[in-house]
Amino acid sequence: MSYSVTGFISKSICVQQICAEYPFLRAVPLEQEFSLFPLTDKLLENLLFSHSKHLRELNNLPNELTDLLAKLSVICPLLYFETEYFGGMGNQSAIVFENGKIIFGPAKAAIGPINEGLRLLGVIIESTGDEFDAIGLGKYRSAEDWLKLGE
C-alpha cells in the first residue's frame, strides 16, 4: 500500500482567516483542534507555481509556496510536510514556519521529521503511538482523499 500526502497543518482556530485570504484552499479537521490543508498538484496550479511538479522533492520547494507558507505563519504557526511511502519504504519531509520564518527544517528522513514538527505545533501524544497518529494523519492515504473531506 502507498501513502502519499502533501499539505500543511495549522491550529483550527486559524482556518477561517487562512481561507479568507486564499478561498481555494480547503481545510479538513484533525484531532486536538488542528486542521490539514491538503495540497494536490491541481490545487497548486491555482497558486500559479511554475515549478509545482517538483513539490515532492523538498529541495525543489517552489519559492512561491515557501513565501505563501511564511506569510500564513504570521496568522499562526504551521507545519508543511510531504510523505511518499510504498510498501513501508519511503521518506517524509517537514518544515515548521512561525511569524514568517522557518523555525524547523527542512528535515527529510524515513521517519521522524513530521512528528518533530507536530511537537513544535503543540500536538500531544495521548496514548500509545506518535504525534502523527495522535492527530489522525494516517486516516487517509492521499491528499486527494483528504481533500474530498473538505468539499
pLDDT at 89: 82
What total number of domains does the chain contain?
1
Q: Are 63 and 71 in contact (CB under 8 A)?
A: no
pLDDT at 4: 81
User: Rounded to whole angstroms, how far apart are CA atoms 38 and 9?
Assistant: 9
pLDDT at 51: 44
Range of the domain at 110: 2-149
Looking up cell 499539505 gives: 7
How many helices (H) does the chain have, and how many strands (E)? 6, 7
User: Rounded to whole angstroms, how far apart are CA atoms 95 and 114?
Assistant: 8
Residue-wise pLDDT tens for the chain (151 aa)?
677 888 999 999 999 999 998 888 899 999 999 999 998 877 767 665 544 444 444 544 667 788 889 999 999 999 999 988 877 788 999 999 999 999 998 999 888 999 999 999 999 997 778 898 899 888 877 788 888 865 5
Q: Torsion angle of alpha carbons 56, 65, 8, 29, nearest 10°?
A: -120
Note if the bond before 106 is cis, omega within 30 degrees: yes
pTM for the full predicted model: 0.86
